[in-house]
Each structure stands twice: as C-alpha cells, then as structure tokens.
Amino acid sequence: MDKFVINGPCKAFGTIRVSGSKNASLAILAATLLFDEPVELRNIPHVRDTTVFFDLLRSLNKKIIISKDKKKIKIYNSKKKISTFCSYALVKQLRASILALGGLISKHGKAVISAPGGCAIGTRPINYHLNALKRLGMKFKLKGGYIHATAKNGLKENNKINLNLSVGASENLIIASTLGDSTVNLHRVAIEPEVKELVMFLNSAGANIKWIGKRTLRIIGVKKLNRTSYTVNGDRIELSTWAVLATMTAGKLKIDGFNNIKLLKTELDLLRKIGASIKYKKNQIIIQGKKKLKNINISTKEYPGFPTDLACIFGVLLCKANGRSTIKENIFENRFNWIAEVRRLGGKIQIKGNKAIIEGNTKFQGAEELMSSDLRGSVALCLAAISSSGRSVVNRIYMLDRGMENFEKKARSIGVSIKRIS
Ligand code: EPU
C-alpha cells in the first residue's frame, strides 16, 4: 500500500492549477448513460473514483477512449448491447455508482444495481434516491443485496418530487427525468455547483432543464440527446485545499483552473477572517498566509453554506490559529475520524457530539505511521504533516488518490518535501 513521506515544515510558494471537479465529473459520467451519440469530456480528473466509474461504464458496454495527454475522453456506445447490471465488485468501490440507476432506468426501463452500503463518513442511505424514483414510476425490490428496478412503460410525470437537498438524489433524478415525454418538477434540489454543472452539461446536449426557483427545476423530457463536447470546471474542494495550505504555512500561492470564483464566497470569506490575504486576477486566486491566524467558529451546511468536505481541511488550519475554534458537522454523522491522527501530530482537539473543539497555537510535530481515514481526512493529515517539524509518514493514501489528482507532484512544485513510497 502506498504511503507518503513528508519532511516539514514547508512553506507553499508558487503557482498551482486545480484539476477538474471530481464530483461534477462523476455525475456527468453517469449522465452519459442517456446518450446514443458520442460524448467528449475535457478536464475530467484521472483519480481513482473516476477510474472506477470508467470501469463501471465499460462493464455496461460503453467504450471509453482517453487521449494520450489524458485531457480529453470520448464515450461511445460499443457494438455490444448495453448491459444494465452494476456489480457489487464495482459499486463497493464507489458509492456514487448509484448515480447509474437514474440513467439505466430511464433509458432502458430496467437496472440491477448493488446496494452501496455505508462508508467511513456515515451510513449514507439512498432512500431519497429510491423514493423519488418510485414517484416517477420506478418499481424496485431488494434481493440478495441488489436493487432490481423496472419501469416497463418508462418514467412518468410528477410535479412534486422533494429531493431533501441531497446532492446525489438530485443528480440521479435530474438524469432520470431528462429523456421521455413528460414534464417533471423537482423541489428542494441541491444547488451545489456540481449539480448545476450536470444541468449545464445535459443542456449542452439539447436537454430542456430550467431552474424555475432557487431550488426548483423544471425538466421537460426530450426524445434524445445530441453529440456534445463539454469542459468540466475546476474542483472547488481542491482549490480551497491549496488555499488552506498557503494560509497555514504562511506561504503564497497563485491558483488557476477554476472559472467562477464567486462560487467560493463562503469558504474564501472564512479564510479571509482567519487571516489570509486573497486577491483575484481574472480567474486566478492569489492567496497569502500570515504568521498570526485568528480563531473562528464554523458550521457545515448545504451549499451555499460551508462544505462538509472542507471541515477537516479547515480543522487542521484552525489548530494553528490563536485561540479556541469550533467546527460543527451537520451533514454526515461520522466525519471526525481524522481527529485521532491529527492529535498524534500534536493537535489539541476534543469532540463533543457533532462539534469539534480545537485549541489553537499548535506547533505540529511529525509522526510515523499516520493512518488516513477517508479521502478528505487523508488530505487534512498531509496538510498537517507538511506544516509539522520533522518527518511524517502518511499511510493508506489510496484514500487521497480517490479524489486528488497528482497530489504529490503538485505539492512538490510549490516547495513541499513529499515522496510516495509504493
Ligand atoms: N441522505 C439520506 N438519504 C439519501 C441521500 C442522502 O439520508 O438517500 C443524507 C446523507 O446520509 C447525508 C445527507 O443526506 O447525511 C447529505 O447527503 P448527500 O446525498 O447530499 O451526499 P452525497 O450525494 O452522498 C455528495 C458528495 C460528497 C459530499 C456530499 C455533501 C459526490 C460523489 N459526493 O455526496 O463528497 O460530501 O455530497 O456535499 O458527489 C467527497 O467528495 O469526498 C464526498 C464525500
């Protein structure tokens, strides 16, 4: 199993480019199940989660051609008949595989897909997905750990589907409602930028999807989707990760690759409050850290609130602030697994219910055999190790590889001493 050896403390200086958004890519890849025509996608990050999704699409008999420089992928229907079976072996590697359900049931009227189960950050049920698809006319049974779903006469009209602000359920229902001859109104739709990108992608291929309220979508079914070429925006969580690294190491980074900085208002305003200086030059963000950082209280919330994916990243930053900070986790029930390992680097953090109480002014000291808990937790551990004195070893970095493209290469280019050991 790969690990990172990090020799700190390092200061982050230079220019860095974020990769395409992992979560937008996963939703868009799922939506390609609706197409007969080829789809060209640019800026998909080549991380473990997208690679598993490529495997899932291949297992359904889609053909994927990746350009030599990996910047472009093309997805075709292969000559074989499309399969509607998503195996446990693939779904267990990637919960987002459940996003294939909406596309398969809408396009082929049936799907057999392994139930995804829980994961390190929570039980992560899929009841919102299933209940909403049921209201569109999908029938399903759970047999032997698989969801057997059918919609013999296609999916039908419904004006009142509530998606409870769930990102995945919103994406699944948008995909399921795009084709056909009915109109569907979706309510309490998640408005995370990744959901909005899925809508933009589908509309680029001739779908008829409109935001008719802040969190309401009207989808008028279309007969088919056209050939399209789409470029995925940068990854907002990756961007904030590098911004936090610049802040916590009192460094300076110029960050490229994200084309709508307004979408990051909540997290960048908080970083400013903590003490970073942030400037914009077109779509480049220039961020500079200071020696003295201010403590702050944060609560995670659905977009446009503070993202749960950044709680641990800001958590390690706040270990270095002057005074006590708190982070309240409101989205997932089990997102504090990173804390035990950060304590091994010297972090003074207590957990009370869904709140992490972080005492500031920590001088991290490197530690051996740190264990990554999940993707974002693994990244947080690396950031803490980068700002620690001495050598650290971060294990189980396959977690980080799920969602961060070329992490160590990018980190080295801005002055971090980091080596992967396979
Ligand atoms: N929920 C239910 N029932 C459902 C669906 C969700 O109870 O059917 C609950 C969840 O258990 C959770 C809350 O609703 O408590 C929100 O979950 P949501 O469905 O919004 O999350 P998701 O679609 O499973 C996506 C991202 C996560 C990100 C969350 C929240 C992808 C592939 N994953 O998950 O990203 O944390 O939205 O923004 O888009 C990551 O990238 O590391 C990651 C975990």
- SS (HEC) of 93-134: CCHHHHHHHHHHHHHHCEEEEECCCCECCECCCCHHHHHHHH
Rounded CA gap, 348 and 85, in Å? 47
Confidence of residue 119 (pLDDT cuts 50, 70, 90): confident
Is there a single domain that holds both residue 196 and residue 294?
no
Structural domain count of the chain:
2
Rounded CA gap, 320 and 347, in Å? 9
Report the CATH number at residue 283: 3.65.10.10
Is there a single domain that holds both residue 172 and residue 291?
no
Q: What percent of the chain has pLDDT over 70?
A: 100
Mutate to test the pocket of ligand 1, among 174, 235, 299, 331 (most ligand atoms within 8 A of CB): 331
pLDDT tens, 9-65? 999 999 999 999 999 999 999 999 999 999 999 999 999 999 999 999 999 999 999
Show the ligand 1 pocket: residues with CB < 6 angstroms.
23, 26, 96, 122, 124-129, 166-169, 190, 192, 194, 307-309, 331-332, 375-376, 403
Is there a single domain that holds both residue 304 and residue 318?
yes
Is there a single domain that holds both residue 330 and residue 408?
yes
Is there a single domain that holds both residue 224 and residue 299?
no
As given in the structure block, the two tokens for residue 250 are 């009192």
Among residues 231, 246, 270, which one ends one of the domains?
231
Is there a single domain that holds both residue 273 and residue 412?
yes
Tokens 């909005």, residue? 196
Q: How far is the CA of 402 from the centre of ligand 1 (A)?
A: 16
Burial string for 355-373 (b: 16+ CB within 10 Å, else e) reads ebebbbebebebbeebbbb
Residue 422: CA count within 13 A, CB half-sphere: 1
Is there a single domain that holds both residue 181 and residue 126?
yes
Nearest atom of ligand 1 to the alpha carbon of 307: 38
User: Where in the sequence numbering do the catalytic residues fall?
Assistant: 119
Closest residue CA from atom 27 of ligand 1: 309
pLDDT tens, 291-332? 899 999 999 999 999 999 999 999 999 999 999 999 999 999
Is there a single domain that holds both residue 246 and residue 150?
no
Is there a single domain that holds both residue 291 and residue 215?
no
Is there a single domain that holds both residue 202 and residue 257?
no
pLDDT tens, 252-294? 999 999 999 999 999 999 999 999 999 999 889 999 998 899 9
pLDDT tens, 368-393? 999 999 999 999 999 999 999 999 99
Nearest atom of ligand 1 to the alpha carbon of 168: 23
Rounded CA gap, 315 and 320, in Å? 9
118, pLDDT greater than 70: no
**CA 40-44-50 angle, 5° bins:** 110
Rounded CA gap, 42 and 79, in Å? 24
Q: What is the pLDDT of residue 80?
A: 84
Is there a single domain that holds both residue 171 and residue 99?
yes
As given in the structure block, the two tokens for residue 396 are 């189980």
Is there a single domain that holds both residue 201 and residue 305?
no
| Strand stretches in 144-269, DSSP E | 146-150, 158-162, 183-187, 208-213, 216-220, 228-231, 252-256
| Strand stretches in 246-292, DSSP E | 252-256, 277-281, 284-288
pTM of the model: 0.98
Nearest atom of ligand 1 to the alpha carbon of 22: 41
pLDDT tens, 145-161? 999 999 988 888 878 89
Rounded CA gap, 316 and 344, in Å? 12
Q: Which of 191, 139, 138 is nearest to 163 (CA)?
A: 191
**CA distances for 379 relative to 47, 131, 151, 228, 394, angstroms:** 14, 34, 41, 34, 10
Among residues 213, 231, 249, which one ends one of the domains?
231
Rounded CA gap, 167 and 192, in Å? 7
State the residue range of the domain holding 286: 3-18+234-421
Rounded CA gap, 226 and 222, in Å? 10
Q: What is the pLDDT of residue 240?
A: 98
Residue 79: burial class (beta carbons within 10 Å; 0-12, 13-18, 19+): exposed
Q: How far is the CA of 134 from the centre of ligand 1 (A)?
A: 20
Among residues 193, 215, 231, which one ends one of the domains?
231
